[in-house]
Amino acid sequence: GLGPFPGAAMDLFGDLRRMNKRQLYYQVLNFAMIVSSALMIWKGLIVITGSESPIVVVLSGSMEPAFHRGDLLFLTNFHDDPIRAGEIVVFKVEGRDIPIVHRVIKIHEKENGNIKFLTKGDNNEVDDRGLYKEGQNWLEKKDVVGRARGFLPYVGMVTIIMNDYPKFKYALLAVMGAYVLLKRES
């Protein structure tokens, strides 16, 4: 008969009960391995690319048609590499949590070799001075998180959906957790 749980949920609990402790332990370890491998790959990317965020998701339409919302960008940030006009950079502004992906439109080089630059979104009417912190007219190298080196279109849509609908995030985590726990060794 049908209790308060639908059949699928009952099967799931039955499966979990039948699974012995050793199997469960093994699956938990398996899950921990996956997570730690992902973290190691991420740390490795940080070292290789020189960027604290080697991969970012475009969250706004300010860079269309070059990049669209949900595109995944790959960044590098080598300090010896000079910043050029026309280059797309990801920068962080004091007082804002989320980095911004925009194009360098103007470069201002001083005698001592210090470079300051101005950015603008391709799809925006005005430059980014309104986005910088108060009284700041130029960005410096220290503000740059990375520079776009390549991208995958729309792969980051999942991130945007998770930001816009937090419940989706928990549902996704629950499904992944259940999958890892119940995956049988073939």
pTM: 0.69
Give me the architecture of the 55-153 domain, per CATH. Answer: Ribbon (2.10)
Query: Each residue's pLDDT tens digit in the chain (186 positions)?
Result: 555 556 666 666 666 666 677 788 888 898 899 999 999 999 999 999 998 889 889 988 999 999 999 999 999 998 788 888 999 999 999 888 888 999 999 998 888 878 899 999 999 999 999 999 888 999 998 999 999 999 999 888 888 887 788 888 888 888 888 887 787 655
Please indicate whether residue 102 is annotated as part of the active site.
Answer: yes
Q: Sketch the domain layout of the chain as residue ranges.
A: 7-49, 55-153, 156-185
Rounded CA separation 181/162 (Å): 23
Please indicate whether residue 62 is annotated as part of the active site.
Answer: yes
Which of 51, 62, 71, 143 is catalytic? The answer is 62
Please indicate whether residue 127 is annotated as part of the active site.
Answer: no
Structure tokens belonging to residue 179: 């999958």
